[in-house]
Amino acid sequence: MARDWHDLTDLTGDRDFVVTGIRLKETDIGIDGEFDLPPLARLRYEDQVFVGEFVRSHGSIKQMEKAFGVSYPTIKNRLNRIAARLALVEVEIEPTPEPRDEVLDLLERGEISASEAAKRMRR
């Protein structure tokens, strides 16, 4: 009997688990081993639906309030709870380089030195 993710998240609750086999539907192909699930798949089914709606609404909390019939604080609290369960990746954003013409204009006006201009151009 096939189970869906809703059943799986109900069965496991918040306990850790590992998937040990995969079988492709309508074939005899199966793979046994240990497979980690992506963080979103580890969320309870209801939280997966919530995240899906959040993405569909482009992160609009107003639309989320309407979709779920709850208040702003309720949406924020649920988002915070879900975010805490996800192992989010830290992303470092490097500063965008100044356009070459802007650096040359600063140099021409005497606002930066030639060595500073060269350093900025190398970036």
**Whose CA is closest to 47, among 11, 3, 95, 80?**
80
User: SS3 for 35?
Assistant: strand
The mean per-residue pLDDT over the stretch 14-18 comes to 76
Residues 10 and 29 in one domain: yes
Total structural domains within the chain? 2
Percent of the chain with pLDDT over 90: 33
**CA–CA separation, 73 vs 21, rounded Å?**
40
Residues 109 and 54 in one domain: no
Residues 10 and 66 in one domain: yes
Residues 45 and 98 in one domain: no
Residues 39 and 58 in one domain: yes
Residues 103 and 70 in one domain: no
Residues 63 and 25 in one domain: yes
Residues 61 and 13 in one domain: yes
Residues 70 and 121 in one domain: no
pLDDT at 71: 94
User: Half-sphere exposure of residue 71, counting CA atoms within 13 Å on the CB side?
Assistant: 3
User: Which pair of structure tokens corresponds to residue 36?
Assistant: 């980690």
Residues 69 and 119 in one domain: no
Whether residue 1 is predicted with pLDDT greater than 60 in this model: the reply is no
Confidence of residue 4 (pLDDT cuts 50, 70, 90): low
- Alpha helices in 86-113, H assignment, sequence order: 100-108
Q: What is the residue range of 114's domain?
A: 94-123
| CATH classification of the domain holding 11 | 1.10.10
Our CA dihedral for 54, 52, 35, 3, rounded to 10 degrees, sits at 140
pTM above 0.95, yes or no: no
pLDDT at 53: 96
The chain-wide mean pLDDT, for the chain, equals 84
**CA–CA separation, 105 vs 111, rounded Å?**
9
Residues 58 and 31 in one domain: yes
Confidence of residue 97 (pLDDT cuts 50, 70, 90): low
